[in-house]
Amino acid sequence: MEKPKVKIDYKNAVISIRGLEKSFEDYAVLRGIDLDLYQGENLVVLGRSGTGKSVLIKLISGLLKPDKGTINVLGNDVTTISDKALQELRIRIGFSFQNSALYDSMTVRKNLEFPLVRNRKHITRPEIDTAVETVLDAVGLSQTINQMPAELSGGQRKRIGIARTLILNPEIMLYDEPTAGLDPITCIEINDLINEVQQRYNTSSIIITHDLTCAKMTGDRIAMLLDGQFQRTGSFDEVFDTTDNRVKPFFDYNFIQ
């Protein structure tokens, strides 16, 4: 259950967010967020549903536009970057969606090939096959290569979703609720996979979750998002070693083995 030790470069922030604000109509979801993700680090963003966790990573990947603030990703300000540069930057960022977002009309193989074929114009067929087999092996699902997404279980879909992002060798991984809707054993398997990806691919990750087991197993650092701002940041024990009535109930209602 303990997280394996990894080397984190605290001098090198791969994502740096300052004064980030985002509202939907009259509802302010994020109210001035400051955040740094360091090279090699797994940062878990914890918070209740509707607190803007997913909005945060959609802003980082440029899927949404912020109202205010700057988002610096690998040296590029996502808020002012051109479309072309954003497209190139996105290849360096892996995004694992809450519901996996596998392409229903394609087999697992085609799902994995899709980002590769579209972003590496001169790649050969043997190189594609090798890349697909490597990532499938990394997530332990080589046998599913010719299956359709509808034939996979929830856990398998998550793994294939992660494999699809890994195929482009991203430097940053963004996980949106990686364990949502999965049974406890599959959750632990996914948590192990997140740690394995961090070590094997040397990625820096933001993991959005409200699952404290996931947070404890995968997070090098935890940031607690409440009322549109990070209320507490630190190690798991530091965040929850508090009498703060806004944070304490979140811990109390999550039973951790």
Partner 1 sequence: MDNVSTPPPAKKTGSKFKKSLSDFFASLYNIHLFIVRFFKEAFVPPFELKEVVRQCYEVGVRSFTLITVTGFIVGVIFTKQSRPSLSTFGANSWLPSLVSIAIMRALAPLVTALIASGKVGSSIGAELGSMRVTEQIDAMEVSGTKPFKFLVCTRVLATTIAIPILATYTAFIGLLGGYLNVSFNEGTSYTTFMEQVFQPLVYLDFTSSLIKSIVFGFTIGIVGCYQGYYSTKGTEGVGKAANGAVVTAMFLVFIEEIIIVQITSNFR
The interface region with partner 1, picked from 34-42, 74-82, 132-140, 186-194 by CB under 8 A, is 74-82
Site for partner 1, residues 51 to 70, rule: CB under 8 A: 58, 61-65
Site for partner 1, residues 161 to 180, rule: CB under 8 A: 164-165, 168
The residue (of 63 and 256) whose beta carbon lies closer to partner 1 is: 63
The distance of closest approach from Cβ of residue 99 to partner 1 in the complex, given in angstroms and rounded to an integer, is 6
The distance of closest approach from Cβ of residue 55 to partner 1 in the complex, given in angstroms and rounded to an integer, is 11
Of 15, 33, 41, 95, which one interacts with partner 1 (CB under 8 A)? 95
Listing DSSP states for 180-203 in one string gives TT--HHHHHHHHHHHHHHHHHS--
Closest CA to 214 of 172, 257, 244: 257
Of 98, 134, 147, 186, which one interacts with partner 1 (CB under 8 A)? 98
The interface region with partner 1, picked from 1-9, 100-108, 127-135, 231-239 by CB under 8 A, is 100-108
Residues 157 and 150: their CA atoms lie apart, in Å, by 9
Residues 32 and 19: their CA atoms lie apart, in Å, by 4
Closest CA to 174 of 250, 254, 71, 29: 71
103 binds partner 1 (CB under 8 A): yes
Tell me the CA distances in angstroms from 172 to 92, 133, 254, one per residue in order.
7, 21, 28
Of 2, 83, 237, 252, which one interacts with partner 1 (CB under 8 A)? 83
Residues 63 and 186: their CA atoms lie apart, in Å, by 29
Of 8, 28, 74, 81, which one interacts with partner 1 (CB under 8 A)? 81
The distance of closest approach from Cβ of residue 115 to partner 1 in the complex, given in angstroms and rounded to an integer, is 4
Question: Residue 194: is it exposed, middle or buried by C-beta count within 10 angstroms (0-12/13-18/19+)?
Answer: buried
Q: In one letter, which amino acid is 4?
A: P
Closest CA to 128 of 114, 143, 141, 140: 114
Binding residues (CB under 8 A) for partner 1: these are 25, 58, 61-65, 79, 81-83, 86-88, 90-91, 93, 95, 97-99, 101-104, 114-115, 118-119, 164-165, 168
